[in-house]
Structure 1
């Protein structure tokens, strides 16, 4: 039996493992680049496992494979798929209907929900708010998710250029260029899906286009740690990062940290991750 096909989520987990191994010194530059490239193009789970098997901490990102069926389970599945006799089918349908009708009063009494009524007049239970709250966020500020955003942006707009890109813990905000003779842009948000926030408008101020594809994702996250620890912000945590360019100056990737007391600072870097200036908290 062939290996299982890899999903985008599997590839992202593998890339995160490789990046973490690179940051803590397990991999050199060339090895890291080769493994990331192969992980992003991997088609099967075996390929991803082979790229991370020898890395410390890889178990935390291990790909979960579907468990194979036992012979008894295979026999049961095969039996379920055999055509049944007409009499047995009718009997089964009747029994199912009787069972459902018997459960309706119990469902109605236990939920007490009368906001939705079907064509039969039977009240349906509401969706559990706890179950809805348990759903994971679609975007989190991780290396794999940032790469996913860059792929989605290029696919959606056919470019990696923007007037500004803002990375936040659970979303990305982009000023997307609009084609035309004059500089215009639309504001879009990515949180796992695209949402257009504004229609086309004139670009205000001296901002110029930036290339999001120039961001070194690994060094971005390394610099986030530097900013959190080296800007004199007590218990400072990453708040956002802005990719911007002003008045013909070089493009900047500014990383901001803050705390609950309103204290903040930022680290100014190039898109490639070279630190240009530090702006620590100043009372």
Structure 2
């Protein structure tokens, strides 16, 4: 049986990248997200890291006829044994079905992705700060009339959020925030519950980023994912990595209590 701590093989990474490419082709993530995810997947050292970057791409039941799961991609390509997908969800929570998620932008990849999408983030923006997060929430409220979201992925200089398009369905529209303006990128159907962006304490986000940076020597990239709480109560996930593909991530409740530490598993 495969476990989150098992070392990732080339065929594991290839199958995950194929799933990301399929998500982009289906319009579920933007090119920027695809480029960032692919870059991180190429550096992934364990199955848990691969799961971090692909879990949100698994479709809801209603989507299965039109969008392949990673297991389906693997079975079709022969790149992954079925056992790989018996992976405990405790390892991760990740970017929601729509966004983005994307993984931390180390500079070269991030710039290439932004140029490809025409979305140029403000280099002076500081989204992962108390004031930066408050600006994002204010922009979301102005755009949508509320602060509910299906998920949010926050990078130092920009963010991507999945916002409901109505009050009752799981339909979302993905928005890119560069510190000055929101720009829509893609749309789809979310598989996770809604949560209130305004209820998240940005000080907790900042503290988690500092903690996860301390778990990696010379971190080169980092980001935060926020979603509705999982079964363990984790709502905030902070991730950091360095140029040697050494990574760490933390899962925490809204009050900052750590529920998962990848370095202690």
> TM-score under structure 1 normalisation?
0.46
Q: Which has the higher contact order (CA 8 A, sep 6+)?
A: 2
Which has the higher Rg, Structure 1 or Structure 2?
1
